[in-house]
Amino acid sequence: MFAEQAPPRITQLGMIAAMTRTMIVAVLLASLASVAPLQGQRPVISVTPDTPFKLATFEAAGKVRVGLVLGARVVDIESAQAMIVQEIALRGAPAMPRDMRTLIENYADLAPSLYRIANYFSATKLDAPFVFDVTKVAIKAPIKYPYNLLAAAANYKLHAGEMFPPGSPQQKAANEADQDKEDPVFFAKSPRSCIIDPDESYTITPGRNIDWEGELAIIIGKPAFNVAEAQAHDHVFGYSIMYDLSDRGGTGRRPQTGMFNGPNWFAGKSGDRAAPFGPFIVPKEFVKDPTSFHIVTKVNGVVKQDGDTKNFIWDEAHMIRYLTSILTLYPGDVISSGTPDGVGAGRKPPEFLKPGDVVTIDIDGIGTLRTPMKKQ
């Protein structure tokens, strides 16, 4: 008797299934091999900053995550690290933190792993449950919350000039300001009370004159006290966007006490929710020229401010030297570096925001911070 043979259709299905499994394995191996050559049976993925990325805090699927932004995708770094560690049998790799300030505090140890994640995901379009379309997640303020949020006043000559009467001593002082002979003026905003997320609305109180001020945010990377100008950039982690939302006065408040001359900076600058922040942080190693960021602020799509940080009166080094001569800056702290000319209060006649307006602040290489205005 001859042995019974399997029906031809079953044999063909088995062969197809085997071929499919082989093709899947080959695709996975090819995607890993495209990142770097194989070492034995394990892929080697570069841990150098070959792939530029931004960092974000975002919410997806009910979970707040720290994300690595690559073009239109944002990758949950905690899950990505776990996957790569398993795939290449990596030992001793650090776990990724779940908040941005902790990441910044430990960046020296975490950076190689972040570079590895960026290099891996730039070379593959892996469809993983922890990779999201950046336009379909809720982007949060990148740091919730820094210890310090310090903002520079009148750090562009043209802005200082528009805020003081022509020919006044203040305008003369602005035109003659010298970063090597004079110190800047700073004020503080409460991080916990003032910072709000990108796209989060600000409520305008009736009778108040609310202005726009788009600013570069400098993020501190390591503890800094009594830092010399030559070492200032060493203490910078990266850059983001801050909206120094300003109350220029109006009705509904008691007058300021007569003991003090000049504006009430606390009332004008430290209002609740008056520091929209984000959307992303760009680590400094991916910034070609940290002395020049192009800033454009629009209201309802109309350009109101168009400036460049190369026109600072006090540059990054002078600001950090001054601030750290007064207090210690910590990882994740934010310096809001001042606004260019074109604010509403400097226009003739003055212009202020109203419910329904939308303020957008765009900085080349970082992104766009959007803040809608709404009625109380």
Instruction: Dump the DSSP string for 71-102.
Output: TTEEEEHHHHHHHHHHHTT--SPPPPPSSHHH
> Could you give the residue ranges of the DSSP H alpha helices within 195-339?
265-269, 316-324
52 three-class SS: coil
Report field, pTM of the whole predicted structure over 0.85: yes
Q: Which residue has the higher pLDDT, 21 or 115?
A: 115
In the DSSP assignment, the letter for residue 257 is P
pLDDT at 4 exceeding the cut of 60: no
What average pLDDT does the chain have? 90
**Dihedral pair phi/psi, residue 243, rounded to 5°:** -100, 105
What was the pLDDT predicted at 41? 52
Query: What span, in angstroms and rounded, lies between the C-alpha atoms of 265 and 283?
Result: 31
Query: What span, in angstroms and rounded, lies between the C-alpha atoms of 37 and 33?
Result: 6
Q: Where does the pLDDT of residue 307 fall: very low under 50, low under 70, confident under 90, or very high at 90 and above?
A: very high
Residue with tokens 């430990």: 106
Paired strand residues for 239: 218, 282
| Cβ neighbours of residue 243 closer than 8 Å, sequence gap 6 or more | 212, 213, 214, 215, 275, 276, 277, 359, 361, 369, 371
Helix then strand then coil, in percent of the chain rounded to 5, is 30, 30, 40
| Right CATH for 43-140 from 2.30.30, 2.60.40, 3.40.50, 1.10.10 | 2.30.30
What was the pLDDT predicted at 158? 93
> Could you give the residue ranges of the DSSP H alpha helices within the chain?
8-33, 77-87, 100-105, 107-123, 157-163, 169-175, 191-194, 265-269, 316-324
128 three-class SS: coil
Q: Where does the pLDDT of residue 43 fall: very low under 50, low under 70, confident under 90, or very high at 90 and above?
A: low
CB neighbourhood size of 41 (10 A): 8
What was the pLDDT predicted at 42? 59
Q: What is the pLDDT of residues 163-195, one digit of tens each?
A: 998 999 999 999 999 999 999 999 999 999 999
The CATH code of domain 149-251+262-375 reads: 3.90.850.10
Q: What is the pLDDT of residues 86-111, one digit of tens each?
A: 988 888 899 999 999 999 999 999 99
Q: Where in the chain is the domain with CATH 2.30.30?
A: 43-140
Query: What span, in angstroms and rounded, lies between the C-alpha atoms of 106 and 108?
Result: 6
24 three-class SS: helix
115 three-class SS: helix
Give the number of C-alpha atoms closer than 13 A to the C-alpha of residue 259, restricted to the C-beta side.
1
Q: Where in the chain is the domain with CATH 3.90.850.10?
A: 149-251+262-375
Q: Which residue has the higher pLDDT, 124 or 176?
A: 176
Query: What span, in angstroms and rounded, lies between the C-alpha atoms of 111 and 105?
Result: 11
pLDDT at 281 exceeding the cut of 60: yes
**Dihedral pair phi/psi, residue 55, rounded to 5°:** -120, 145
| Cβ neighbours of residue 266 closer than 8 Å, sequence gap 6 or more | 187
Give the angle 223-184-148 at the CA atoms, nearest 5°. Answer: 35
What was the pLDDT predicted at 262? 86
Q: What would the mean pLDDT of 45-52 be, rounded to a whole number?
A: 96
